[in-house]
Structure 1
Amino acid sequence: MSYLAIKKEVKRGDIRPIYFMYGTQTYLMEDLVLDIIKQTVGSQDDPNLISFSLQDTLLDIALEEAETFPFFGGKKVVVVKDFSLVTTQKQEAKLDHDVTRLQQYIEHPSPESILIFLTPYEKLDERKKITKELKKKAAVVECCPFDEKMLSQWLDAQAKMKGFSFSEDGKERLVERLGAQLLLLVSEMEKLALYVGNDGVVNGEIVDLLVARSLEQDVFALIDFAVKNQLDKALIIYHDLLKQKEEPLKLLSLIARQLRIYYQVKEMSRRSYSQRDMASQLKLHPYVVKLASQQVNRFEDKHLLRLLEGAADTDYAIKSGKMEKTLAVELLLMKLATLNTK
């Protein structure tokens, strides 16, 4: 099930005996675990909340804890972190985990315990029996990057919890500025909530006023200004980033990455890939692909290739000592503006 669906279940008090959470979005796992704790033992200080890591603890010990009665009755929550037994990930510690005992527990979970497995890895080993058993018997939560629709729903839910709402342009502007970085989005929404007050509405102007652009968004804007022949604005952003102690080589790397994304998206669009398929193939967030799709028609293929070559040449010139790094990146931006586009 999706994170949002499980979260609704937990909020209404429908708690499952076993949760199996996997994926790269650890914030979502931590958020769900906190919700489960609130609904069951009440706080993170409760003695009936116990956490283990399979990096340094045998699985047997966690299962024994789950099978032990809670203190003073009620429920017990047992969290098993770094649960790599369902992946191809090699364990650093040489511990002999008893997977057979886990299979037996899955068949007959303790009614007094909630057992939570956290697997912060992108892929599961679907061939393993324990993977199949967990996916069949546990509440499975895929904690992967949101698509555009889920991100929108999540933002609305977070805003509601904080007592405000978004206008459509406000929500879009926030994602443009920060991307899908959930921790950063939550942090900035705290600030927005304080500014607009209870029942307030956050629009695009308020986001522009309060939320600073991320480094990636600055690079996106820098390229956008350059290809529109607004070199003065592009250079202002560049020199502002230098004042913030950003390294020219790092900025060059981000510029080259963005140009590669443009080229890949343009080529895949020509082959009739959907934006969802592009995001999956390129391992990018769907919103990054959406923004790139809106920009690629500014470029001809030959211009993109020449710009990518120019970025590679700039990198070589800096690293070989032929050119000073700050000036070299500035000259690349000038080339970006002169090799314009449609």
Structure 2
Amino acid sequence: MSFLQVQKNIKKGILSPLYLLYGTETFLIEETIHKLLNKVLTEDQYDFNLSTYELKETPISAAVEEALTIPFMGTHRVVIVRDPQFLTGKDQSKVEHDLKAFENYITNPVPETIFIIVAPYEKLDERKKIVKLLKKEAEVLEATAFSETEMDKWLDGRVKKYDVEITKLGKEKLVQLLGNSLVMIAGEIEKLALYAGSGGVIDETVVQQLVSKTMEQDVFSLVDHVVHRRKKEALQVFYDLLKQKEEPIKILSLLARQFRILYQVKELSTRGYSQQQIAGTLKLHPYVVKLANQQGNLFDEKKLLLFIDELAETDYKIKTGKIEKQLALELFIIKVLGE
């Protein structure tokens, strides 16, 4: 089930006694837990009716025993178990887990208990009986990066809480600057909403002015200026990075990474991959793929490979002392602008 659907069900009070939350997007997992806790417990009930177990240290049987206990001074008990490595193919835990007792609970859960299994792994071992049983009986959230449509809906919902709106270009600029980090995006939205004020609009200009850029995003801007032949702007970003005491070798490394992304997106697009498939294959956000595709279209594949090779050669020359590092990067940027 999608994150947005799970959130919708919780809001409506459609709750499951079992939740399996797995995947690498921890923000979505923690947000779901937060919503569930707010729905079924008051803050003064946390001490009596909320229990969390780290399964690297505690056997699952302890959590099951707790889940069987009647709620105290409330209608629900919440039991959270974290890091269940026995759901994966790489269980390094030294704790003995009674999976039979857990299987029995999964097939006959206590209605008054919300049992949440938090598995922050990219994949579960689908061959295991316990995994199959959980996927059959529990409400499952696979916490992965949003698709473009999901990101749009999530952003709309997020800004609505602050009684503001966000434009399409505002969304794209926000994702371009912050990438897949939902934690950072959520924090920046709060700041942007306060600036826009109730009933206001967050547009591309507001995002550009207020969102703190990372070095990676400055390099992305540098590449964008380069591929669009904006020599003055490209060199200005480069010199600004140097003023910020950024190491030229690191800038070069990020430049190489960005040009590799352009090449990979172009190559996969040529093979007929969709934007969503490319995003999944390269583990990038669809917005990033969309922008990379637009940039990559300005060069053919041979030219992009040539730039990647030249960056590798520049790296070698710098590290062997054959050329001064700032000069080497300036020459590379000017050469690409002249192509």
* Fold match by TM threshold 0.5: yes
- 1:222 is displaced (CA, Å) by 0.4
Match of residue 153 from structure 1: 153
- Flag structure 2 segments of 5+ consecutive residues without an equivalent: none
Match of residue 200 from structure 2: 200
- Flag structure 1 segments of 5+ consecutive residues without an equivalent: none
2:272 paired with 1:272: yes
Q: TM-score, normalised by structure 2?
A: 0.94
Hey, what's the Cα distance between the residues in 2 that align with 1:285 and 1:224? 17
After TM superposition, the structure 1 = structure 2 runs for residues 29-68 of structure 1, keeping only pairs within 5 Å, are: 29-43=29-43, 46-47=46-47, 48-68=49-69
- Other structure's SS at 2:46 match: coil
Match of residue 233 from structure 1: 233
Match of residue 244 from structure 1: 244
Match of residue 291 from structure 2: 291
Contact map agreement 2:45 2:73 (CA 8 A) in 1 = no
Contact map agreement 1:37 1:44 (CA 8 A) in 2 = no
- 1:53 is displaced (CA, Å) by 1.1
- 1:45 is displaced (CA, Å) by 7.1
Contact map agreement 2:45 2:74 (CA 8 A) in 1 = no
- 1:114 is displaced (CA, Å) by 0.6
RMSD: 1.7
Hey, what's the Cα distance between the residues in 2 that align with 1:127 and 1:174? 40
Deviation digits for residues 291-334 of structure 1 (CA, Å, limit 9, x no counterpart):
11111121122211111111111222233333333333233222
Hey, what's the Cα distance between the residues in 2 that align with 1:322 and 1:99? 62
Contact map agreement 2:172 2:287 (CA 8 A) in 1 = no
- 1:44 is displaced (CA, Å) by 8.4
Deviation digits for residues 151-189 of structure 1 (CA, Å, limit 9, x no counterpart):
000000101112211122222222222223111111111
Hey, what's the Cα distance between the residues in 2 that align with 1:18 and 1:172? 36
CA spacing shift, 1:152–1:99, aligned 2, 3 Å? same
> Which segment is superposed worse, 52-61 or 146-155?
52-61
Match of residue 99 from structure 2: 99
Match of residue 87 from structure 1: 88
Deviation digits for residues 222-271 of structure 1 (CA, Å, limit 9, x no counterpart):
01212333223112112222333333222212111111111112222222
Hey, what's the Cα distance between the residues in 1 that align with 2:44 and 2:300? 56
Match of residue 259 from structure 2: 259
Hey, what's the Cα distance between the residues in 2 that align with 1:324 and 1:300? 30
> Which segment is superposed worse, 50-59 or 21-30?
50-59
After TM superposition, the structure 1 = structure 2 runs for residues 149-228 of structure 1, keeping only pairs within 5 Å, are: 149-228=149-228
Hey, what's the Cα distance between the residues in 1 that align with 2:327 and 2:60? 56
- Which amino acid counterpart does residue 60 of structure 1 have in structure 2? S
- 1:284 is displaced (CA, Å) by 2.0
> Which segment is superposed worse, 241-250 or 177-186?
241-250
Contact map agreement 1:164 1:201 (CA 8 A) in 2 = yes
- Other structure's SS at 2:43 match: coil
Identity fraction in percent: 47
- Other structure's SS at 2:198 match: coil
- Other structure's SS at 2:315 match: helix
Length, aligned pairs only: 338
> Which segment is superposed worse, 32-41 or 249-258?
249-258
2:111 paired with 1:111: yes
> Which segment is superposed worse, 11-20 or 277-286?
277-286
Q: TM-score, normalised by structure 1?
A: 0.94
Match of residue 27 from structure 2: 27
- Which amino acid counterpart does residue 282 of structure 1 have in structure 2? L
